[in-house]
A = this chain, B = another copy of it.
Amino acid sequence: MARLPEYLRALHSLAENGHETVSSEGLASAAGVNSAKLRKDLSQLGSYGTRGVGYDVGLLIEQIEYVLGLTQRRAVALVGVGNLGHALAGYDGFASRGFRIAALFDADSGRVGEEINGLVVRHVDELPRVAAEESIAIGVIATPAPAAQQVADQLVAVGVTSILNFAPCVLSVPAGVDVRKVDLAIELQILSFHEHRKASLTALPTTGGSALTALPGGLAVTESQEAIGT
């Protein structure tokens, strides 16, 4: 389940605050989900809760980390050390959550050699050699969109089977390779959609607004917290 990492973060936060056990209710509210959903998710991992008490925070962290494959610290290669790439390279949140940025790559020879956070930027042509040395598990693409497909192909060629893509484009990859995408403009547009919907609802509550905005069942947007109420 995609919610496991969220639970894990909430658990770490609870552990830091000294909690040794949590009820499903408490963990659910900390993770921002329904308590029944949380229990169902956790029961999929096996029964690690005690009825009448709750879940052992430490044990649960261990179990979730095992299921997520975080027992081994995976090596991440970041390709494209531009505006966004710099921020990512300098981010310490990866290291603290089970990942190690193992290498930085860029195609711009002006950037090659630059040192960021103790890592030196290499030319993307060195990817095969470095991948062999470091056993890269995950590739992060932070290049402009036109270069993303090519970079993805290069990553796949050196054996990377998981890619996180920040470029606003769809990547085509062979079966067995997993791609996740983060597109900030899409997130903003979804928010804009809600703004638009909220505005047209309050503006014309009686007439119901124009035909386009007053859709039959309303448009559903999945993911994320949504507190559109009354």
B187 touches A180 (CB 8 A): yes
- In whole Å, how far is A110's beta carbon from the nearest beta carbon of chain B? 17
Q: Which chain B residues lie closer than 8 Å to A9 at the CB level?
A: 168-169, 183, 185-186
Per the 8 Å Cβ criterion, residues 138-187 of A in contact with B are: 138, 161-164, 168-171, 173-187
CB–CB A191/B219 < 8 A: no
Count of A interface residues, CB-CB < 8 Å: 89
Query: Which of chain B's residues has its CB closest to A229's CB?
Result: B175
A205 within 8 A of B: no
Pairwise interchain contact B188-A94, C-beta atoms closer than 8 A: yes
Point out the residues of chain B lying under 8 angstroms from A120, CB to CB.
Answer: none
Q: How far is the CA of A43 from the CA of B220 in the complex (A)?
A: 14
Sample (26) of A-B pairs whose CB atoms are under 8 Å apart: A1-B219, A1-B220, A2-B190, A6-B183, A9-B183, A10-B170, A31-B170, A67-B193, A68-B189, A68-B196, A69-B195, A83-B91, A99-B188, A138-B195, A163-B191, A174-B227, A175-B228, A176-B198, A176-B227, A176-B228, A177-B227, A178-B224, A179-B227, A180-B191, A182-B184, A223-B223
